[in-house]
Amino acid sequence: MGFTISKAVIPAAGLGTRFLPATKAIPKEMLAVVDKPAIQYVVEEAVAAGLTDVLMITGRNKNALENHFDHVSELEETLRKKGDHEKLAKVNQSTDLADMHYVRQGDPLGLGHAVLRASMHVGREPFAVLLGDDIIDARDPLLSRMIEVQGKKNASVVALLEVPDNMTHLYGVATVEATDEDDVVKITGLVEKPPQGEAPSNLAIIGRYVLRPEVFDVLEKQAPGKGGEIQLTDALEKMAAADEWTGGVYGVVFRGRRYDTGDKLDYIKAIIQLASDREDLGEDLKAWILEFASGLEK
Ligand code: UTP
């Protein structure tokens, strides 16, 4: 108890193979969702929850990520000379957002391996992990609630989403016990991507975690699991089973809007949903969608 969480770790070193060839030379986290790369939504979410120290775990295409959160003098100078303050503000939006740090993962050996690369920077304090391809709608705050639960329980906390039966095989799935809070469950077991029909529940882990530093001790010894990757889910399963020294693992059940931008169909839906709510685009887009949809029914 007693730690104020200030560090966010954002793993963005995956190969993004589902999005090839778009992700051949740029990370999938740089794909635009309306007019901002997915990763900027995620950093903005961390900052909104009070986490201003952001460590990004990057891979072979790290330059685009680093450049996005840095100054781009030529462009800024050109816009300044033109007096285009509106566009200048957009360029600078991502520059002064947070205190950004980067570490390379080397080989992409799995999400658990990526998180372990953060151990030097994080030290022995609780920290948040936000997956760079999951967007949580800013109107439905999740991370601040998870940080609150972490503080109260002095445990590790994952975000859970209720998914249909035919989707459980795509996620880490939890076995849970109820607590006295409606949106909080105690996790007693976890399984990564269970075969269809074998999931212990419909509660799937989505890309937000608030973890105690003991996760690093577990990850150091973690053998490769599903897909030959070092899985964060496997480390969390061990932490759930050893709650006397890890504090255990709790889940916050999220009932808000979430967009998985690592999946092609969900990525397209995310753009449409977020753009429909925008003041500058919403009205025209919705009118077009209605016209387009009526054409589909014919
Ligand atoms: P995913 O499995 O969704 O990412 O990992 P991926 O491997 O890039 O995607 P596909 O399946 O090939 O399209 C979830 C998150 O973990 C990160 C990814 O960048 C993503 O944010 N990750 C995954 C790493 O940082 N390192 C890894 O070794 C694996």
Same-domain check for residues 94 and 32: yes
Same-domain check for residues 274 and 258: no
Kindly report which listed range (12-16, 50-54, 173-177) carries the lowest average pLDDT score: 12-16
Looking at residue 30, which CATH number applies to its domain?
3.90.550.10
Say how many domains are in the chain: 2
More confident site: 3 or 122: 122
Same-domain check for residues 143 and 283: no
Same-domain check for residues 78 and 152: yes
Same-domain check for residues 93 and 116: yes
Cα of first residue to Cα of last residue in the chain, in angstroms, is 61
Q: Is the pLDDT of residue 208 over 90?
A: yes
Same-domain check for residues 59 and 197: yes
In this structure, are residues 189 and 240 in contact, taking their beta carbons and an 8 Å threshold?
yes
**Domain-located, residue 2:** no
**Domain-located, residue 189:** yes
Tell which atom from ligand 1 comes closest to the C-alpha of 131: 21
How far, in Å, are 35, 150, 209 from residue 153 at the CA level?
39, 5, 14
Segments forming the whole domain that contains residue 69:
7-262
Same-domain check for residues 239 and 276: no
pTM of the complete model: 0.94
Same-domain check for residues 290 and 177: no
Best of 23, 29, 111, 169 for a ligand 1 pocket test (most atoms within 8 Å of beta carbon): 111
Same-domain check for residues 187 and 293: no
pLDDT (tens digit, 9 = 90+) per residue, 59-93? 887 889 999 998 888 898 999 999 999 988 888 88
In short, whether 131's Cβ falls inside 6 Å of ligand 1 is yes
Tell which atom from ligand 1 comes closest to the C-alpha of 110: 28
